[in-house]
A and B are shown apart, each in its own frame.
Chain A
Amino acid sequence: MKQMMKCLVFILAAAILAVPASAMEKNMVYSSPYNITTLDPSVSYSTESQYLSNMYESLLKVNPPGSKEFYSYVLATGFSASDDGLVYTFNLRKGVKFHDGTPFTAEAVKFSVERTTTIGKGAAFIWGDLKEVQVVDDYTVKIILKSPAPLPMIAAAADGSYIMSPSVGDKGPEWFNEGNDAGSGPYTLKSYKSGESWILAKFDGYWGGWDGKHIENILVKYTKEGLVQLKMLQSNEAMLAGRIPIDSIPKIKAAANTTVLEGPSYTNYLAFFNTTRPPLDRQTVRKALAHAIPYDDIIKVAFNGAATQARGPVPKGQFGHTEDVIQYEYNLDKAKRLLAQAGFPDGGFKLTLTHAAENVSHGRIASLIQSEFKKLGIEVEVKSIVWTSQWAMAKGDPKEAQDIFLLMWWPTYSDPYETLYTLLHNEKDKPVWNLAYYVNPAYDNMIRKAYEMTGINPDKALDLYIQAQNMVQKDAPVAWLVDKKAEWPMNKKLKGFVVNPAYTATPFFYDMYLE
């Protein structure tokens, strides 16, 4: 019995001390609130792009703002466009292998784009202007379009642009969702426990090589609760966390072992005004309200300073953003004057505002707006509803819908067209994302023209985008609140993390290392 006890104590001690120190430098734990919906790279269009972007590669990658070059070449080594902007020729990288050993050639590009468009789910819409993909030779591929589109940006999109091994054949999403991958990226999916944890492990044959400092294995621990993420970070169990409670950010910044990495992001927060219903169907009233929003207080209270006031729909750093776009500043006097002009000198009307209950920042924005509007004699009824229900209600009859709808938005690719089109184009009688229910045919035409021009004449395109944005700003169907900064709570030992707003919330593990 004594022997057994001794043995037990020994094993217990060994179990607790089992982790070798060297394992810690090459391995890291990421406590992530971002779950996996699908592992199929053709279908994926949700938070799992964080992981897929580390397993799959695209032809190009958009560099963070401020870089010398707009693109990095990943699976392509160069490209050229025909004068009419309809044919793009890509030269492909040699010596690249997929995780299953299949060599990367032009066939893989054709296979991947065709698979994604045929399935037609997820972000497949980015290839909407595609006519066909032609294999010229093993390392040259031609992509032909039906109408001009900024194809390089599409080929560098955060979702829908992944190139996968042709050995996938006709395997469907089920095969991927069992935990398989077919990428060429630095990491391969070593294990997958759905809704629990998954391990991304170094792919030895990665074309970029493994010289220098890198992390070899990443355990992603799916952690829904922000408080648990916080504790995992504080106790050095996790090196990186996804989203901790806002009010804990200062604590994490001040601690000896942890910090918060800030960077640009294309995520923005906005408030749709219901343009179909009085009194917000009147431009002057909407303008007045845009002046009554306390932008600075929102930045301070709802984001702890990690945001800047938005200037129009296109976030800072993205193509299409300039200082020439009109911005509404907080000015209650101006708001009062405008309201008086519209026949509401003392306010006297009631508005309903809906927001996603699970978004803490939304809740705080709603209260701030409520108290400012009160100063104008406008009563705001705040309805805090889970996102899915809030959105479903807004998609119903606009006349019955809310007056103000708060939204957090991020684009799929770096071209401004997606945001400008999706949020503001005429959706006729079936609203989905244009929850201002805004209709302006001149605007619709102008952004389409700009989109087609981007690949051929970017200066002209930019000019059109500015005009279109100012057209919207004069109408004020939406109050653009803030461009949110990306915030990554992490251990101070973690280095090399580059925040890239073109890939919202994607940590590229290959750049990182532990000190």
Chain B
Amino acid sequence: MPLTLFILKRFAGLVALLLVLSVLVFFFSRAIPGDVAALYVGGNAKPEQIEKARIELGLDKPLYIQYQRYMGRLFKGDMGLSLRSHRPVLKDLSEKIPMSMELVLLALLVAILLGIPVGGIAAIKQGTWLDEVIKWFTAAAVSLPIFFLALLLQLVFFDLLGWFPLQGRLDSMLEFTHPIELITGFSFIDSLVTGNFTAFFNVIWHMVLPVAALTLGPIGFIARLTRSSLLEVMNQDYILAARASGISEGVLYFRYGLRNALSPILTVIGLMVALLMLNTFFVEIIFNWPGIGYYALIAITSLDFPALMGVTFTIGTIYVLANTATDVVRRLVDPRIN
């Protein structure tokens, strides 16, 4: 199948997935008892006002009509107003997504940069004490629950040692003296391109603990996978032949072995993005990081349906896109895949 057709098929799949998700979230979320109109009005709202809001929000109509209207607006690029912030959901999301993505992408980068070499070393040193240590470390990294890990990091590096900040993405005082201008929404990029180095280093400093909490599991996962995948490849006949012809071990592992071992690792990286998106929910709440996870938490606790739908679409889209990108890269790396 040509690559373009493959990508097109994936996009068709994405649209179908989003449709199914939209039905599920729309109808399930409305099955929760809660008076959305009353929440929208806020405070000690009076009955007449609640009734008025119900009509304004279209909640007086049957559910399937509400859904029809919602989808109609969605195709025009309108996700409605958040009941909580009274701002367009799309605007809220466009501010929150980059903040989560900077954590997720950085964590992914660290996981790849550390996970593959650590796994490679374990494979090369198979059976030695180093392999054992790595095995223990990666097992712990994979099995620690993320919220526990995040709290543990906070306890050790903020409460006990005081090396890293407790929360947020910028020192409060820097918000007065060196505020970050909003350009892309990625705070470390925005601060860098505006020459705001004070804020840039401060942001990096604030990212250390949340990224560490996010990346530890994926490091373990990628390392374990790299190790087993590499060992499997290294037992293949063609490696044996290459070794017999006197090619050095280093070249063998990294040029012939790793390249062929990469395919399953790349598959996992796509899944990893989805996992990281999910884990960032916990991390953002613990570190008060104002990304999409924090936004979703507020949306859930205040029954902010339009925002919740927006979050669902976003996560669904990111998930599919990450998987598609992975498959494309896999095809490029390994021509056998069709």
Contacts and interface: CB of A to CB of B under 8 A. Distances in A.
Interface of A: 11-12, 14-16, 18-20, 23-24, 27, 29, 35-38, 40, 43-46, 120-125, 159, 173-174, 177-178, 191, 193-197, 199, 217, 219, 221-225, 228, 231-232, 235, 237-238, 358, 386, 388-389, 391-393, 395, 409-412, 418, 422, 427, 430, 432-433
B165 to A, nearest CB: 8
Contacts of A193: 95, 290
B41 A195 contact: no
A433 to B, nearest CB: 7
B179 interface: yes
Contacts of B295: 195
A15 B177 CA distance: 11
A219 B46 contact: no
Contact of B174 (A11, A18, A195, A418): A18
A174 to B, nearest CB: 8
A11 B197 contact: yes
A194 B87 contact: yes
B328 to A, nearest CB: 35
B35 A219 contact: no
A146 B137 CA distance: 76
Contact of A121 (B41, B159, B294): B41
B307 to A, nearest CB: 10
A224 B290 contact: no
B124 interface: no
Contacts of B173: 19, 23-24, 27, 29
B303 A224 contact: no
Interface of B: 32-35, 38-39, 41-50, 52-53, 84-87, 92, 95-96, 158-159, 166-168, 171-179, 197-202, 205, 285-286, 288, 290, 294-295, 297-298, 301-303
A18 B198 contact: yes
Given A237-B166, A391-B35, A122 B174 contact: no
Given A221-B168, A225-B288, A389-B33, A427 B84 contact: no
Contacts of A122: 41-43, 49
A282 B97 CA distance: 56
A422 B86 contact: no
The residue in B41, B46, B199 that gathers the most chain A C-beta atoms within 10 A of its C-beta is: B46
Given A11-B197, A15-B201, A412-B44, A120 B174 contact: no
B167 A223 contact: yes
A12 B178 CA distance: 14
B86 A391 contact: no
Given A18-B174, A178-B87, 13 more contacts: A11-B201, A16-B202, A23-B177, A27-B176, A37-B84, A38-B42, A45-B44, A120-B49, A122-B43, A195-B298, A221-B168, A238-B172, A410-B44
A37 B53 CA distance: 15
Contact of B44 (A14, A36, A422): A422
| Those 6 A-B pairs whose CB atoms lie nearest each other, nearest first | A46-B42, A45-B43, A196-B290, A15-B201, A388-B34, A29-B172
B34 A19 contact: no
Nearest to A19: B173
Nearest to A158: B43
A228 B198 CA distance: 24
Given A45-B42, A388-B34, A38 B86 contact: yes
Contact of B285 (A14, A222, A224, A389): A224
Nearest to A44: B42
B118 to A, nearest CB: 26
A123 B43 contact: yes
B288 to A, nearest CB: 5
A15 B176 contact: no
B49 A194 contact: no
Most buried by A among B39, B50, B172, B174: B172
Contacts of A197: 175, 290
B175 A121 contact: no
A416 to B, nearest CB: 14
Contacts of A19: 171, 173-174, 177
Contacts of A125: 46, 48-49
Contacts of B48: 125
A43 to B, nearest CB: 8
A393 B32 CA distance: 10
A412 B43 contact: yes
A45 B40 CA distance: 10
Contacts of A43: 86
Q: Which of A44, A392, A433 has the most CB of B within 10 A?
A: A392
Contacts of A44: 42
19 contacts: A15-B202, A36-B85, A121-B41, A125-B48, A125-B49, A177-B86, A191-B179, A193-B290, A194-B85, A194-B95, A195-B290, A196-B290, A223-B288, A228-B167, A232-B167, A388-B35, A409-B44, A418-B44, A422-B46
B52 A231 contact: no
A23 B176 CA distance: 8
A224 B175 contact: no
A389 B172 CA distance: 36
B85 A177 contact: yes
Contacts of B33: 388-389, 392-393
Contact of A35 (B285, B288, B298): B298
Given A15-B201, A18-B174, A238-B172, A389 B34 contact: yes
Contact of B43 (A46, A178, A217): A46
A266 to B, nearest CB: 12
Contacts of B84: 35, 37, 195
Contacts of A433: 44
Contacts of A45: 41-45
Contacts of B46: 125, 422, 432
A221 B172 contact: yes
Contacts of B95: 193-194
A27 B174 CA distance: 11
Contact of B298 (A221, A224, A392): A224
A228 B86 contact: no
B46 to A, nearest CB: 5
Given A15-B201, A20-B177, A386-B301, A432 B288 contact: no
A417 to B, nearest CB: 13
Which of A40, A159, A196, A223 has the most chain B CB within a 10 Å cutoff? A196
Contacts of A235: 166
B85 A12 contact: no
Nearest to A239: B172
Nearest to B45: A45
